[in-house]
A and B are shown apart, each in its own frame.
Chain A
Amino acid sequence: MTELVPVLSDIWDQEQSWKRDTYAANGGYTALKKALGLDKADLVQMVKDSGLRGRGGAGFPTGMKWGFLPPDDGKPRYLVVNADESEPGTCKDIPLMMANPHVLIEGVAITSYAIRCNHAFIYLRGEVVHVYRRLLQAVREAYEAGDLGKNIHGSGFDLDVTVHAGAGAYICGEETALLDSLEGRRGQPRLKPPFPAVAGLYARPTVVNNVESVASVPAIVNNGVEWFTAMGTERSKGHGIFSLSGHVKRPGQYEAPLGITLRELLEMAGGMREGHELKFWTPGGSSTPIFTEEQLDTPLDYESVGAAGSMLGTRALQIFDETTCVVRAVTRWTEFYKHESCGKCTPCREGTFWLTQILKRLEAGKGTEADIQQLLDTCDSIAGRSFCALGDGATSSIISSVKKFREEYERHVTEGKCPFDHAASALFTYSSDTASDEATTEEAHA
């Protein structure tokens, strides 16, 4: 039995857990003081040795990302924290920053010191105003305590931190779109190379890291590389927050070593809701191919999930029971990608539009057998043909669901309607006329 490891979540249940005093009383900011006494290159090496990989979805080794920065030329270089958590199903960074913003601030200070950055930014999505309040206050408290600002704790190291609120655009979670947005432009991805490490914010060397990645740094500094690498699997080290949502008894945040399985997590979460069974789930948000009960014992680490045909992504486990229509679920995700496509690349912009048209037709029982093949063909025209991963992500749930649930798509065609009672999936009781509730939302996202 894998045990949970509350590293980042350890003080979330304390009174005023978001205050600096609470954090400091529980060992907060000791890692910063320790780090300031270490050699910068040693800190980068420490994070490399820990095997920490990006917790924002892509899983790129964090220390290696830091190491890609060119040698210091005396001009500015930046750390930008990606706090634009918006991938459907993903809900770990937002509660982390609401409950304990200081673990992130401390991670920002250590990371900035290691990469020789004197001005760091936290780019928070704009739709979570209370989290923004907590971050603004935490940064102010940190300045007052001397954890930020000039000559931090007498080290001679200066750091300013700006917390920046976005304004509602999923694409800004893509690191180069985020940089454009932070520069005051439309958030559209840049062509890479050059990578942000060479030409990022204001065309200067920049590290873009996810909230959870940066927040994981203080514990590594305090407890050491061996402590971190003792958790997880061979190539997926350490702890991560697994977010369970959907038809489970106790949804929520479960911080565990990488490599834990859904079977284990489900048991901790009390299992599926009473009288129902697992039908399908996403291992890492809506951009990752769906799994079924066949992957209940797949270790949730980067390699194993990849080998099983999906991606660990953001560890956003959206769990659906047998009442859920997979075509309805996939249609809604696809509408999301259509809505959020930034419009820069034609395959994604046009492709997500046509996918939505076909899926809505199918879900309404007005599709044909040929539509199912058309979906796959259109996915072929999108995947791998755009600047960023948004278009790829849009095809994941479609391709995987047609593969695993083709007969369900076919039933929509042969029965001429959605064969599911949508009310049965809800957490409350209501009587439904499923045809009408979807119809009223026809052009809502236009």
Chain B
Amino acid sequence: MTYDESTLEKLKADAAEVRGRYPVERSALLPLLHLVQSVDGYVSPDGIQFCAEQLDLTAAEVSAVATFYTQYKRRPSGEYQVGVCTNTLCAVMGGDEIWKRVSERCGVGHDETTEDGKISLERLECNAACDFAPVVMVNWEFFDNMTPETALQLVDDILDGKAVKPSRGPDEVPTFKEVSRVLAGFEDGRADQGVGAGEPTLAGLKTAKEQGWTLEGGAK
């Protein structure tokens, strides 16, 4: 492994904490893979070796797991993962056109990274926000109700190095490495930022309140 001493020490300390969350250590593998992405930006050969040593697995066993899951990147990727949902609902509502325009603007296709290393583009499967369609995710933060114009503005801002703010999420989108650390189970102090719910989330509650429907009434 080529990690310098302080990086390795930090990784080991974090890994010990992750392992401690589970009764059987192997369960720590998914979070540990997120953890090595938070250092390397992808699942590097060093990262695989590190996970293997931590959990007493072979590198082949770790690779077999890492390659199964789409969030683990197999080669260096962008600082911002921009994903356009092109599953049926979002695609029909405009996601296909958004994908096309964003891909043209960035000059890269699915699972490719811009030359400056800023953006990796991805066609996403359903991200559980269909009532906000069409949806774009940046580093797994929600950008709701997108249009080609708002999506192009979003990637332009990222390419220009400006901070971008999700519709439902923290005040600004952290980098892929920072987000990967959260996914390894380490809080980043941003949980209280952003809204609790978007407008569609509240559509039924609002209707019930306007109609004066109460639980007692509804339970009749």
Please tell me which one of the listed residues B27, B29, B140, B197 contacts residue A128 in the complex, with CB atoms under 8 A apart.
B140
Q: Mark B190-220, 1 if CB is under 8 A from A, else 0.
A: 1110101111111111111001010101111
Distance of A361 Cα from B24 Cα, bound (Å) = 48
Q: What are 23 A-B pairs at a CB distance below 8 A?
A: A5-B215, A12-B197, A17-B197, A19-B192, A91-B131, A98-B197, A99-B197, A129-B141, A133-B190, A186-B65, A239-B218, A244-B131, A245-B131, A246-B89, A246-B133, A251-B131, A251-B132, A252-B131, A316-B130, A329-B88, A427-B94, A438-B96, A445-B123
Distance of A87 Cα from B89 Cα, bound (Å) = 12
Report the stretch among B3-11, B152-160, B178-186 that lies at the interface.
Answer: B178-186
Is B21 on the interface with A (CB-CB < 8 A)? yes
Chain A nearest CB from B42 CB (Å) reads 13
Shortest beta-carbon contacts, A-B, top 6? A252-B203, A252-B200, A184-B29, A254-B204, A167-B69, A5-B218
Are B26 and A183 in contact (CB-based, < 8 A)? yes
Is A231 on the interface with B (CB-CB < 8 A)? yes
Residues in chain B near residue A242, CB distance under 8 A: 204
Are A132 and B204 in contact (CB-based, < 8 A)? no
Is B44 on the interface with A (CB-CB < 8 A)? no
Are A85 and B128 in contact (CB-based, < 8 A)? yes
Are A14 and B196 in contact (CB-based, < 8 A)? yes
Is A255 on the interface with B (CB-CB < 8 A)? yes
Is A24 on the interface with B (CB-CB < 8 A)? no
Please tell me which one of the listed residues A202, A246, A252 contacts residue B23 in the complex, with CB atoms under 8 A apart.
A202
Chain A nearest CB from B128 CB (Å) reads 4
Distance of A89 Cα from B93 Cα, bound (Å) = 13
Is B70 on the interface with A (CB-CB < 8 A)? yes
Please tell me which one of the listed residues B27, B30, B179 contacts residue A167 in the complex, with CB atoms under 8 A apart.
B30
Distance of A12 Cα from B208 Cα, bound (Å) = 13
Is A421 on the interface with B (CB-CB < 8 A)? no
Report B114-162 residues with CB < 8 Å from chain A CB. Answer: 123-134, 137, 139-142, 145, 147-148
- In the complex, the chain A residue whose C-beta lies closest to that of B121 is A444
Residues in chain B near residue A333, CB distance under 8 A: 87-88
Tally chain B residues at the interface, Cβ within 8 Å: 90
- In the complex, the chain B residue whose C-beta lies closest to that of A96 is B201
Residues in chain B near residue A407, CB distance under 8 A: none
| Given A119-B23, A186-B68: A255 touches B204 (CB 8 Å cut-off) | yes
Are A3 and B183 in contact (CB-based, < 8 A)? no
Are B134 and A252 in contact (CB-based, < 8 A)? no
| Given A133-B191, A184-B27: A318 touches B89 (CB 8 Å cut-off) | yes
Is B55 on the interface with A (CB-CB < 8 A)? yes
Please tell me which one of the listed residues B99, B103, B169, B183 contacts residue A126 in the complex, with CB atoms under 8 A apart.
B183
| Given A12-B205, A132-B182, A165-B185: A91 touches B88 (CB 8 Å cut-off) | no
Are A126 and B34 in contact (CB-based, < 8 A)? yes
Binding site for B on A (CB under 8 A): 3-7, 9-10, 12-14, 16-19, 76, 85-91, 93-95, 98-100, 119, 125-130, 132-134, 136-137, 140, 162-170, 181-187, 202, 227, 230-231, 239, 241-247, 250-257, 268-269, 286, 316, 318, 320, 324, 328-330, 332-333, 336, 339-340, 342, 422-423, 425-428, 430, 432, 437-438, 440-441, 444-445
Residues in chain A near residue B199, CB distance under 8 A: 252
Residues in chain B near residue A330, CB distance under 8 A: 88
Are A6 and B219 in contact (CB-based, < 8 A)? no
| Given A132-B183, A250-B203: A245 touches B219 (CB 8 Å cut-off) | no
Report B63-78 residues with CB < 8 Å from chain A CB. Answer: 64-65, 68-72
Are A441 and B123 in contact (CB-based, < 8 A)? yes
Is B12 on the interface with A (CB-CB < 8 A)? no
- In the complex, the chain B residue whose C-beta lies closest to that of A171 is B68
Residues in chain A near residue B27, CB distance under 8 A: 164, 182-184
Which of A100, A252, A257, A329 lies at the interface centre, i.e. has the most chain B CB atoms within 10 A of its CB? A252
- In the complex, the chain A residue whose C-beta lies closest to that of B219 is A230
Distance of A320 Cα from B125 Cα, bound (Å) = 18
- In the complex, the chain A residue whose C-beta lies closest to that of B30 is A167
Distance of A328 Cα from B91 Cα, bound (Å) = 10
Are B201 and A169 in contact (CB-based, < 8 A)? no
Are A4 and B213 in contact (CB-based, < 8 A)? yes
| Given A129-B182, A167-B70, A169-B69: A422 touches B96 (CB 8 Å cut-off) | yes
Distance of A316 Cα from B130 Cα, bound (Å) = 9
- In the complex, the chain B residue whose C-beta lies closest to that of A165 is B183
Residues in chain A near residue B183, CB distance under 8 A: 126, 129, 132, 165, 167
- In the complex, the chain A residue whose C-beta lies closest to that of B203 is A252
Residues in chain A near residue B215, CB distance under 8 A: 5-7, 10
Are B93 and A427 in contact (CB-based, < 8 A)? yes
Distance of A187 Cα from B67 Cα, bound (Å) = 11
Residues in chain A near residue B130, CB distance under 8 A: 88-91, 243, 245-246, 251, 316, 318
